[in-house]
Structure 1
């Protein structure tokens, strides 16, 4: 599956001298962006999980199970993502520009330690007695907030400095081939998890572009099944825009309960 349409950033025709001067930079921004869509998914998942942890009722066992399950999913998502970058993006950068990925690679090691520490805190909270839960839950929430804050800054560097380095050292064909190899390495279950967070986080145009590209690679029935699994995470307005854009009828009834 290729995603050139999804990862192309929209630009407008320059209308002023300043805008005309900025046109070369805008043209660069139209190239394949490895980071923007998956980072939108990660930010969405991080914020959702952080909010759930912040309002957690530690006396409600069902809510505890659901919230910590969501945290487990976030930690797996983050681990997969940094491994994909380590395995595919960083070697490509280092092959053409030695040292380009060193800072981010070092931060990935720190993130792995932070992910493990958050997992340990979640395990402690699961095992704790009622009296110990509030303090542990607050500690978990604060540590998760720091992890999210660090990741937001980290992702900004990747979306700016790393993209510029990739665009400067690779052709469009090389970037597309690299991206396709990365996608091919993702198991179907993990891809579905990624899409669950990515599709709702995209703009309507990006969302339709992604699903239309996926539709070209799948038979009609599996594609319809995929959309059925993603649709509960879209609100009425998002679905009303998406359905005609991907050639599906607008059927009433489903709303978003993320």
Structure 2
């Protein structure tokens, strides 16, 4: 039976969306009306999401880590200093972009792109530390019952809308078998609402990913599209 991993799936979703944001920001035609504001808002939304994610980890995971493996918890706390500085710089660059004069937009766009990539650089190091230091420490010093309780507490704190957003962010970045296992568990938890929930949760998947998911679940795609939430 696979080990309970509190970080893996959500981190895969974060990496995918950070890389996509960086690629699309770098290639964006910033001269179009509203484009600067759109790119700025995307960056601000990302830093807000990452801050909220850190708060969730601190509330539901890292208290246990501090109790069982304080040195690993201290290492994560040190990482937050670099992350906070990178987030602040990115936010400042993003907020200034929409008001930038047209002739200065190309350089401002690139400055925002560099700030975003600094966030990505710092964040990747943070994820690596959580996955290779914090999670192994929890495997060593906490049992499956405690790790299950962490997951249950987090899931219980999410509204249905927030849980749906979590799925949409995560599912496209996961391999088919993992995606199917998560989707199966979600739809089985709400008898009578399976069709609408599956349709809503898979809106961020590509056509090929959706088709593979329905095949793995053993249901026709039409079934998943019968009811919209």
* Whole-angstrom distance in 1 between the partners of 2:33 and 2:163: 30
From 152, 155, 161, the counterpart of 1:180 = 152
Instruction: Give the alignment's TM-score, normalised by structure 2.
Output: 0.89
3-state secondary structure, aligned to 2:102: coil
Change in CA separation of 1:226 and 1:114 when aligned onto 2, cut-off 3 Å? farther
| Residue of structure 1 equivalent to 2:12 | 40
The reply to whether residue 206 of structure 1 matches residue 178 of structure 2 is yes
Change in CA separation of 1:74 and 1:190 when aligned onto 2, cut-off 3 Å? farther
From 110, 124, 128, the counterpart of 2:96 = 124
Within 5 Å, give how 1:29-178 maps onto structure 2.
Answer: 30-178=2-150
* Whole-angstrom distance in 2 between the partners of 1:41 and 1:220: 28
Aligned pair count reads 223
Q: CA deviation at 1:247?
A: 4.3
Q: CA deviation at 1:217?
A: 1.7
* Whole-angstrom distance in 2 between the partners of 1:198 and 1:248: 21
Give runs of ≥4 in structure 1 deviating > 4 Å: none
* Whole-angstrom distance in 1 between the partners of 2:74 and 2:218: 45
Contact 1:100 1:162 (8 Å CA) reproduced? yes
Q: CA deviation at 1:44?
A: 0.9
* Whole-angstrom distance in 2 between the partners of 1:234 and 1:134: 32
From 213, 217, 225, the counterpart of 1:246 = 217
Change in CA separation of 1:117 and 1:186 when aligned onto 2, cut-off 3 Å? farther
* Whole-angstrom distance in 2 between the partners of 1:220 and 1:69: 37
* Whole-angstrom distance in 1 between the partners of 2:114 and 2:135: 31
From 202, 209, 222, the counterpart of 1:231 = 202
From 166, 171, 196, the counterpart of 2:168 = 196
Instruction: Give the alignment's TM-score, normalised by structure 1.
Output: 0.79
3-state secondary structure, aligned to 2:103: coil
Query: What is the Cα-based RMSD across aligned positions, in Å?
Result: 2.0
Q: Structure 1 stretches of 5 or more lacking a match?
A: 1-7, 9-29
* Whole-angstrom distance in 1 between the partners of 2:219 and 2:44: 34
Within 5 Å, give how 1:13-28 maps onto structure 2.
Answer: none
